[in-house]
Amino acid sequence: MASFVILNATILTGTGWTGTAPGPGNPTVSGTITSSTDWSDHVRQVTLSEKVAMQDLTTFGDGGFMTQKPGLISADLSIEFNQDFAASNVDAIFGAGFLARTLFYIDVKPTSSARAATNPSRVYAAYVEESTPVGNAVGDRAAITIPFKVTGSFARLTS
């Protein structure tokens, strides 16, 4: 798959994990979310941002050029949902999770097919960083973008 149009990404969340979960103290992640909820029918956009904090190691001997090495790795993600106030839906799950400071496991795949080398899954342990349950004008689509703050390790899984 050299290039494609994203049409059927899969976004799963849950609060339990089988195997070695992403998060603090788990360098090798494996497994999957237990009792996951598939949000694909509510999600309009997902933004994953993985970054490394570069550390400046420049010395006088570097001839006027900066020397840098990668340090700590972190990630943030945000998901734009069509808002839904029904029981066990967007507001009920993530609004309550925000208030309770619930750790969510999040699994994002480019397509609805099974994990594979050509359909890798990005998995994270994250908290809802901010809640804005309503923020639309008259006549707008009821939408909510939820920013998540990733904690600990995360992974790209292919099986």
Task: Give kind and range of the element (H or E) at residue 128.
Answer: strand 121-128
Question: Given a cut of 90, is residue 133 above it in pLDDT?
Answer: no
Q: How far is CA 150 from CA 29, 48, 75, 138, in A?
A: 14, 10, 6, 33
* pLDDT tens digit sequence for 73-130: 999 999 999 999 999 999 999 999 999 999 999 999 999 999 999 999 999 999 999 9
Beta strands in 5-120 (DSSP E): 10-14, 16-18, 32-34, 37-38, 43-56, 68-82, 104-109
Rounded to two decimals, what is the model's pTM?
A: 0.89
